[in-house]
């Protein structure tokens, strides 16, 4: 990348990540591989390069077909013989699959939480020892359940019964 933000060199792998053929990126302005809404943050990162700062970050790029591609970027400034900013060099790792998995996990958690909170009964997520990891409800009669054991929440006999059922479910995989 030169000081005008024009791509001067790109290996075949980087071109391929963004949907271009070999040697398809050199000559393009950096702006062409970013979405308009991401350009301002890209310019801030380039300002850091001009100040001589190296940076390691994640950024969204625009593929040739308009789809998004998430890349992990390790960017470094390049200087000319007089020490002036001459451009930037970067290495990229495609993390699109990881970002998609993170997004799906977030959606799944949100769905689970919406379902659990919509159920009028108490729903507890417990670890194998019966400690509450999540609860959809709390009442003035019961202390905050998250982080507490069955023995801290219920009378001794009830707690033992709960733990017996929990152990059976963990052991057999059936309710």
Q: Which string of DSSP letters, residue by residue, matches 119-139?
A: SSS--EEE-TT--EEEES---
Question: Tokens 């290495």 identify what position?
Answer: 91
The candidate with the shortest Cα–Cα distance to 150, out of 136, 165, 137, is 165
Chain centroid offset of residue 132 CA: 26
Mean pLDDT of 81-90: 95
Cα angle: 33, vertex 98, 54; to 5 degrees: 55
Of residues 142 and 65, more confidence is placed in 65
Of residues 5 and 162, more confidence is placed in 5
**pLDDT of 9-42, one tens digit each?**
999 999 999 999 988 999 999 999 999 999 999 9
**pLDDT of 53-65, one tens digit each?**
999 999 999 999 9
Distance from C-alpha of 96 to C-alpha of 110, rounded to nearest angstrom: 21
Q: Give backbone dihedrals phi and psi of 133, rounded to 5 degrees, phi first.
A: -100, -25
Do 30 and 14 touch, CB atoms closer than 8 A? Answer: no
Helix or strand holding residue 171 (H, E): helix 156-172
Q: Average the pLDDT over each of 35-49, 57-71, 156-170 and give the range with the smallest value.
A: 156-170
């Amino acid at each position: 990348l030169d000081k005008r933000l024009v791509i001067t060199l790109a290996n075949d792998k980087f071109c391929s990540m963004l949907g271009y053929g070999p040697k398809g990126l050199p000559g393009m302005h950096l702006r062409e591989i970013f979405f308009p809404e991401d350009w301002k943050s890209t310019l801030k990162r380039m300002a850091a390069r001009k100040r001589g700062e190296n940076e390691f970050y994640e950024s969204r790029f625009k593929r040739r077909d308009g789809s998004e591609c998430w890349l992990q970027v390790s960017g470094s400034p390049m200087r000319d013989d007089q020490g002036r900013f001459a451009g930037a060099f970067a290495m990229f790792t495609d993390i699109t699959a990881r970002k998609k998995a993170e997004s799906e996990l977030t959606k799944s958690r949100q769905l689970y939480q919406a379902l659990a909170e919509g159920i009028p009964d108490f729903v507890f997520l417990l670890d194998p020892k019966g400690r509450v990891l999540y609860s959809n409800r709390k009442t003035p009669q019961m202390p905050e359940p998250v982080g507490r054991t069955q023995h801290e929440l219920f009378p001794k006999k009830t707690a033992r019964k709960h733990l017996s059922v929990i152990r059976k479910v963990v052991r057999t995989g059936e309710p």
